Amino acid sequence: MQTITIERNFQSWRDAARSQLQLATSPDDVFWDDGTAEGGLFSAMETVPILVGEPREVRLPRDFVDLAKWVACHVDQDRWSLLYRIAWRIAINDERHLLNLETDNDVRRVYAMAKEIRRDRHKMTAFVRFRKTGINPENDREQFVAWFEPDNFIVELTAPFFKNRFTSMDWSILTPDCCAHWDGKNLSFTPGISKHEAPQTEDALDNYWRSYYSHIFNPARLKLNAMRAEMPVKYWKNLPEASLIAELTKKASLRMTDMIDAGVNESRAHVREKIPAGVPIFETHENRDPIEVLAQADSLSLKEIVDFGSTCQACGICENATQPVFGEGPEDADIMIIGEQPGDMEDITGRPFIGPAGKLLDDALELAGLNRSKIYVTNSVKGFKWKSTQQGRKRRLHDTANRGEVTKCKPWLLTELLKVQPRKIILLGATASKALLGNEFKITDQRGVLSNSPIAEKVVATIHPSSLLRIQDESAKQIETGRFISDLKLAKD
């Protein structure tokens, strides 16, 4: 048997495995050493260099290569041997459809490893908590650090998620195995460190997480086993909100009884005192606690609230979105425009209404005599919900947010309203209109200026500009564009 020394990464194994497959080397004749094996067992084994001989053509299916990239991150020291054995069976033993045999021991095991990696990666994206450490004097960017303890070697695999999500800040994610660093331009990695080397002090974000968690905690929906499965106990020590779990679960039954006895709170006076006149109050139990948290955050600036919102994972949209997209414009704007959700371009850049629909809106605003630079533009949903298709190339297609997703994102829209306090609001499309006016509202029947609206002095409801892009007939498009511009003019004094 020969020992093949590789680095602990997929590419190193792949290069060595390709050479061995070209020589048809049996899996029983190879031991893979990435430097993590515990000493002693193979210390006397001779290390044989990769042989150079007459190569044979080796082809492996793409689905195996993609699967192997995930399995390569597993901590199991036998993963390299397992991957090579499967590759050998496919390429040399001509078992071309091996990955479809889920009853096969090797296949079942490799899929189980990949599933563990996906779960571990999901936990990392959910439970990393950044703490602010200061401002970089060279570029005036905020600096953040987080400590996390993954079960597998997933830092390099998962770091691009955080680079895309938190592009505007400098951060480091420290783990015992590997540390990831982002400086606004480059994503780099350094060896792992011990926990006592990581910053231990709390910052304001820790209090935000505790406040947010305590207010969204619903005792009526408490299922301890499900909670432990989604938020395993081993992560609690690094979560600022975990200190509240014992007390909240202990009091859950009492809170649930109080909720049942109280029934629906019709007046909501304790919240109304915090919200200026003209901002709607929603009576659903799902919204009540987040609204209370954000409504009481009047001591925070809009930027601080947006920064806190960038960590929100209340709905599943954030899992596939590049980054949350909040509003843009003067914080004392007289007019606020509210659309549905970011599109593909907005998701990439982090700015609202800069894609095709945004450019159409800009042109229409100019023709209506409105200056976008003086308008606060935002969306009712802050994440890009999309579905993929294959038509020559893979594209991300818009997928309408459902009622539950709009509800979970509504507190952030309310906070923007609280901070900007616009005198006039333009609602673009059904999603934005229903988010603030109720699900019974219909654009087709109630388009135009709304009388006696409770959310602003003047509210205009109109179509979303993206609907104009879908009209094929040019004459019909011109007519509808004219109507859209006329609707925007209604927001002028």
Residue recorded with tokens 């894609």: 355
**Residue-range domain boundaries for the chain:** 2-123, 128-201, 315-489
For 292-418, list the strands marked E by DSSP: 335-339, 375-379, 386-391, 393-398
- pTM (two decimals): 0.45
Q: Are strands 458-462 and 448-450 parallel, antiparallel or unpaired?
A: antiparallel
- For residues 290 and 314, the answer to whether their CB atoms sit within 8 Å is yes
| Burial grade of 226 (CB within 10 A; 0-12, 13-18, 19 or more) | exposed
Burial of 326-365, coded b for 16+ CB within 10 Å and e otherwise, reads bbbbeeebbbbbbbbbbbbbbbbebbbbbbebbebbbebb
* Distance of alpha carbon 67 from alpha carbon 44, whole angstroms: 33
What tens-digit pLDDT sequence spans the chain (493 residues)? 788 999 999 999 999 999 999 999 999 999 999 887 654 344 333 444 444 445 567 888 899 999 999 999 999 989 999 999 999 999 999 898 999 888 899 999 999 999 999 988 888 887 787 877 777 777 677 788 888 989 999 999 999 988 887 777 788 899 999 999 988 889 999 999 888 776 665 554 455 444 444 443 444 444 445 444 555 555 555 555 455 455 545 444 444 444 434 443 343 333 333 333 433 333 333 333 444 445 455 667 788 777 777 767 777 787 778 888 999 999 999 999 999 999 888 888 889 999 889 999 999 999 999 999 999 999 999 999 888 765 544 567 878 888 888 988 888 888 888 889 999 999 999 999 999 988 889 888 889 999 878 888 999 999 999 999 888 877 788 888 889 999 999 998 7
Nearest to 171 by CA among 153, 154, 187, 156: 187
Q: Residues 363, 353, 299, CA angle at the centre, nearest 5°?
A: 125
Sort residue 342 into left (φ over 0), alpha (ψ -120 to 50) or beta.
Answer: beta
**What CATH fold (topology level) applies to the domain 315-489?**
Uracil-DNA Glycosylase, subunit E (3.40.470)
